[in-house]
Chains A and B, each alone.
Chain A
């Protein structure tokens, strides 16, 4: 009986084996370049590629859209060459860790391609002297003010605080200035800077100065004067960004810092407002805001998939080209990084407004400094911690500022080598 059973099963198994050799999957042809993107960029890239797909002759381009930026990051962190993308459209702060871990591959651009961009934009995508992708969007913030509440642009920080104090009760204001876009570290840099704390210092010839940082006393005193009422927050500047957008739209906050990617939401709501940088303590000066780029980054998986040259061509022919950026930004509506696309007639007023705000008060976002945690914490974590410590926990504004200054100084010093 037993032998009979085995015989029966054996026949079928043998047949299966025979069939399986016939239908064994053949290695797929390496003519597909896979691009990963987040929930906002992915669908728009898909549309652009659907309209014109022959950016690299002989290849098809496949866009994979993730449900959120976090999901994209998680997947990229875990991906290996078995499923990883050839190109990933991502934030500039992915470059240092991706390069360190061997997930991103360097690319060398020809002089002609380089000339299409503002050279400081390459700083964002550079790690230890090598470039890992091409700039695609410019990300920055700008301050908007509700023109129904405030008739003309404030010229100094104090003017905004005075307006808030004078109208708090009568207009039911919930805050004076809040951060709606970019969070309490990236977006709030303009406020740090307006009150005297820059993440790193430039000299008059626009070179980075090492070994020096902002004056904790000046900044701390400014925080006391403008943001505090005794030891407590005076309510002008909330320590978190939650609810800022809603409050601004509801007319209960006159000034807000918003990101250029969300401009279209505000416009869609039919809101009247003007764009400008955050005014500084001294009239006529402005707080510096980060201008960073998101890039199309080349991965080491491209080489594994045998599409390295194709992926590099996609970066230069599509992502770094005027035609490619114009088509893409017509849908994505962020300021394009490429000069030809910036000059294109299709760029909207909002995209231009952010551009001009950036030229008034923008500084490059240098990941090598900001991502370093040699000082005990990186910029991204230490900045919001300051606001919490001072505005919520009521800690001393000056002594907390000197902790912050020490951290940032150490981080800049440590990041020197990565630049």
Chain B
């Protein structure tokens, strides 16, 4: 009996201390968001005041269209998540299930491409989208559809690679049975595979959503108009500006932006864990 308690107490000790480590910065953000001073209140660990000034600023100041930014982020990250998973899973399915010449080369090429330090390619992407803007202003530089296209292209490599791992872990018996029934590869994909892999696809979509939501280097170059910006760009402006360090609104905005993601994350936790490991356990 005592031995068990001992064993459990070290478990709790580790759990508690690392939980504190995980929570500490988050706690500070929460207090800062309720402080009115605008600085990152980090010296006192007990909140001195509870002010909603920062939150009000986000919703009442016409110069800070926070809700519009939130909507933009949701639309862009959401579209990237859905589209890249559809397109990516098709490719992953083909890599995993179809036999064709050059399959190995293809997957190796894909792996190589995503290892290229893409940050330098920004210049080239910028020039391409600038030129697209000249003849199709709706999808070029400065537009959300344009950024969406760039994100989709960029997400392709990682997503196909990740999805392929998942697809491999799904038993092939079912779609082989469908094949015997005379279904074509395309039919097998849509009717058998997609419903079967839905939870896994949802996980990849979520990861893709979070990744896009976080992106700000391309976004701040591409989405210049105030009304077009995403949350990451808008929030970075509070503390990344040349002349200002407004931690208060930044903290408030970050918290509001994180809540939905954290909720989705926590509620899908089970799938995420199985999804993350599926790619590896297969081996």
A and B touch in the complex (CB under 8 A): yes
Looking at A79-87, A199-207, A220-228, A392-400, the stretch in contact with chain B turns out to be A79-87
Q: Which of B17-25, B80-88, B128-136, B192-200 contacts A (4 or more CB under 8 A)?
A: B128-136
Q: Interface code B214-240, partner A: CB below 8 Å = 1, 0 otherwise?
A: 000000110011100100011011001
Residue in A68, A82, A83, A181 whose CB lies within 8 Å of B236: A68
B interface residues, Cβ below 8 angstroms from A: 37, 39, 63, 122-123, 126-127, 130-131, 133-135, 137, 141-142, 220-221, 224-226, 229, 233-234, 236-237, 240-245
Contact B233 A69 (CB under 8 A): no
Count of chain A residues with a beta carbon within 8 Å of a chain B beta carbon = 28
CB of A80 within 8 A of CB of B130, answer yes
Given contacts A39-B241, A66-B224, 14 further A-B contacts (CB under 8 A): A39-B237, A43-B63, A43-B226, A65-B226, A67-B224, A75-B224, A78-B221, A80-B127, A82-B134, A245-B245, A246-B37, A261-B243, A262-B243, A265-B244
Q: Which of B122, B130, B220 contacts A79 (CB 8 A)?
A: B130
Task: Please name 27 pairs of A and B residues whose Cβ atoms are closer than 8 Å in the assembled complex, sorted by A.
Answer: A25-B135, A25-B137, A39-B237, A39-B241, A40-B241, A40-B243, A64-B224, A66-B224, A67-B220, A67-B224, A68-B237, A68-B240, A69-B242, A74-B220, A74-B221, A78-B127, A78-B221, A79-B126, A79-B130, A80-B127, A80-B130, A82-B127, A83-B130, A246-B37, A249-B37, A259-B243, A261-B243
The distance in angstroms between the C-alpha atoms of A82 and B137, with both chains bound, is 11
Shortest B234–chain A CB gap in Å is 7
Contact check, A67 vs B229: say whether CB atoms are below 8 A apart: yes
| Nearest-neighbor residue (CB-CB) of A64 within chain B | B224
Quick one: closest B residue to A46, CB to CB? B226
CA distance A75 to B129 in the complex (A): 12
Determine the distance from Cα of A65 to Cα of B225 in the docked complex, in whole angstroms: 7
What is the number of contacts between chain A and chain B, taking CB atoms within 8 Å?
76
CB-CB contacts below 8 Å: A253-280 with B: 259, 261-262, 265
Complex interface: chain A residues within 8 A of B130 (CB):
79-80, 82-83
| B243 proximity list for chain A (CB < 8 A) | 40, 181, 259, 261-262
In the complex, which of the residues A40, A64, A67 contacts B234, with contact meaning CB atoms closer than 8 Å? Answer: A67
A90 CB to closest chain B CB, in angstroms? 11
Contacts of B39 in A (CB 8 A): 245-246, 249
Flag if A70 contacts B242 (CB, 8 Å).
Answer: yes
Residues in A with CB closer than 8 Å to B226 are 43, 65
Expressed in whole angstroms, the Cα–Cα distance for A262 and B242 within the complex equals 11
Question: Would you list the 5 A-B pairs with minimal beta carbon distance, nearest first?
Answer: A69-B242, A82-B130, A246-B39, A71-B220, A78-B126
